[in-house]
Amino acid sequence: MMPPKPPARPEKVSLWKYVKLFRQDILSAQPARLYRAWMAEFKTPFFRSYLVNQPELVKCVLKDRPMDFPKSDRIGAGLRPLLGESVFLTNGETWLRQRRIIDPAFEGGRLRETFPAMWDAAEAALTRLKTRTAEQVEIEEVSSHFAADVIFRTLFSIPIEDEVASAVFHEFRAYQRTQPILNLAAFIPGPRWMPRFFKRETKASAKRIRSLITQLTEARMAQIKAGTAPEDLATKIMTTVDPVTGQTFTTEEMVDQVAIFFLAGHETSASALGWALYLLATHPDWQDKLAAEAQGLEQDFSSVARMRVSRDVFREALRLYPPVPMMVRETTCPETFRDRKLPISSQIVLSPWHLHRHERLWDNPDGFDPGRWQTENGKQCGRDAYIPFSAGPRVCTGAGFAMLEGPLMLSMILRDLRVSPVAGKTPMPEAHLTVRSRDGIWLRIDPRDRV
């Protein structure tokens, strides 16, 4: 069964029509030629945008000269009410300072240290799913709950059942459905004070989320001062001193960072896990391979090395349904790409969605084949055309975290349960903040016979 893919728009549409389609769904607003093109230009009355798929150009922007291509505020303008000046939106010296404080929390043996919290969250999710066997379950809700639980356990040492944690989770669910990845500011330039025309519920939800995160952050600040703070990610980040400035994050700065940790670690993980379970439901041969591998899974970090099938399945889900479908950078000086002149302030769009399905790069680009990662084509594309977490200096700090969390959850669920598709409910991907299904992902859950 071929994994679902949104239909492409007609090649020629008016700017107004394009903006309308874009706000509804970023994926179906794009023409089919982007799955074959090395580069494509899009003109508006206010700026020029260039989608880049050629691996050499992607490497230039993300790895070779990243400081010459800062993040575009056309994305930031839409997300700033929630994320403030988080590391996801900043550039230059501000971004460098933030990464110097944040990166140590994800280095070295931190994955080993966070593994027990991930295991506990996975066991809690499995327990909830076992109460729903022989039922049709909206699996995105389950994966969202699990991913949020992991974030709270590893960041603040509290389960999602905590009152504040539960409130943050439910507010993020509401926010994700109301906020498009780009708003009017993405198409019409202007200063930061210019009205951005957010929906009333979007602004209200962002305000409530930040208020709840502030409660958690201020409580942790008090614990740190009292010497009673647990040794988790929040404590590590909040006590790390920038070696250049000698400063730590203020409460407001930490609220910004927690917001992006939750958005990046919750939304993206939930998206990838939901699609991975759907792909396994529609490909029972791979589901059985993963389940067989998972039979020996134990609560020991050494088990991670044995999750080879699960890891390849999760990588394939990230290829077909990258949680963040597009990233936007901006030129700071005149550039020449493929003999084409790019003026200053041009928008460079890097699209994992199109790059991961590029017809001139991948064998069977739209098919689900976890075995591709052991082939020469898969290994080559993995190096040159696979960026689910971005790449280079701005690669997601939680990439290793996600690549442990996803395979672990898949293994624990399918060790004990079987998932199968629900007739008449094929999910259709669309992009808001992340790539989700328009009407959810519905799967039937049944007990698995253990051997």
Partners of 350 in the β-ladder: 52, 327
∠85-141-88 over CA atoms, to 5°? 15
Rounded distance between C-alpha atoms, residue 427 and residue 117, angstroms: 31
Task: Write out pLDDT tens, residues 306-363.
Answer: 999 999 999 999 999 999 999 999 999 999 999 999 999 899 999 999 999 999 999 9
Residues of the chain with pLDDT > 70: what percent?
92
The distance of Cα 420 from the centroid of its chain, to the nearest Å, equals 25
Among residues 140, 77, 156, the alpha carbon closest in space to that of 267 is found at 140
Q: Name the residue among 65, 73, 38 with its Cα closest to residue 53.
A: 38
CA distance 18 to 15: 5
Contact 49, 42 (CB under 8 A): yes
Counting Cβ atoms within 10 Å, is residue 179 exposed (0-12), middle (13-18) or buried (19+)?
A: buried
Could you list the pLDDT tens digit for every one of the 451 residues in the chain? 899 999 888 878 777 777 777 777 888 888 999 999 999 998 776 678 999 999 999 999 999 999 999 998 776 777 788 889 999 999 999 999 999 999 999 876 788 889 999 999 999 999 999 999 999 999 988 898 898 899 999 999 999 888 888 888 877 766 766 555 555 455 455 555 444 445 677 778 888 889 999 999 999 999 999 999 999 999 999 999 999 999 999 999 999 999 988 888 777 888 999 999 999 999 999 999 999 999 989 899 998 999 999 999 999 999 999 999 999 999 999 999 999 999 998 999 999 999 999 999 999 999 999 999 999 999 999 999 999 999 999 999 889 889 999 999 999 999 999 999 999 999 999 887 788 898 899 999 999 986 5
* pLDDT digit string, tens, across residues 267-282: 788 899 999 999 999 9
The tokens describing 227, both together, are 């010497």
Count how many Cα atoms sit within 13 Å of the Cα of residue 392 in the half-sphere of its side chain. 15
Structural domains of the chain sorted by starting position, each given as residue range(s) with its CATH number in brackets:
15-447 (1.10.630.10)
Q: Which two tokens stand for residue 124?
A: 């809690």
Closest CA to 224 of 214, 215, 234: 234
Amino acid present at 163: E
pLDDT at 194: 47
**Residues contacting 91, CB < 8 A, separation 6+:** 70, 71
Q: Which residues make Cβ contacts (< 8 Å) with residue 371, sequence separation at least 6?
A: 312
For 264, the token pair is 């990046």
CB-count exposure of residue 66 (10 Å: 0-12, 13-18, 19+):
middle
Residues 6+ apart with CB under 8 A from 178: 199, 201, 202, 205
CA atoms within 13 A on the CB side of 143: 29
What's the confidence (pLDDT) of residue 182?
Answer: 52
Spell out the SS3 assignment of the chain. Answer: CCCCCCCCECCCCCHHHHHHHHHHCCCCCCEHHHHCCCEEEEECCCCEEEEECCHHHHHHHHHHCHHHCCECHHHHHHHHHHHCCCCCCCCHHHHHHHHHHHHHHHCCCHHHHHHHHHHHHHHHHHHHHHCCCCEEEEHHHHHHHHHHHHHHHHHHCCCCCCHHHHHHHHHHHHHHHHCCCCCHHHCCCCCCCCCCCCCHHHHHHHHHHHHHHHHHHHHHHHHHHHCCCCCCHHHHHHHCCCCCCCCCCCHHHHHHHHHHHHHHHHHHHHHHHHHHHHHHHCCHHHHHHHHHHHCCCCCCHHHHHHCHHHHHHHHHHHHHCCCCCCEEEECCCCEEECCEEECCCCEEEECHHHHCCCCCCCCCCCCCCHHHHHCHHHHHHHHHCCCECECHHHCCCCHHHHHHHHHHHHHHHHHHEEEEECCCCCCCEEECCCEEECCCCEEEEEECCCC
Distances from the Cα of 382 to the Cαs of 52, 183, 247, 355, 378, in angstroms?
A: 17, 32, 38, 11, 6
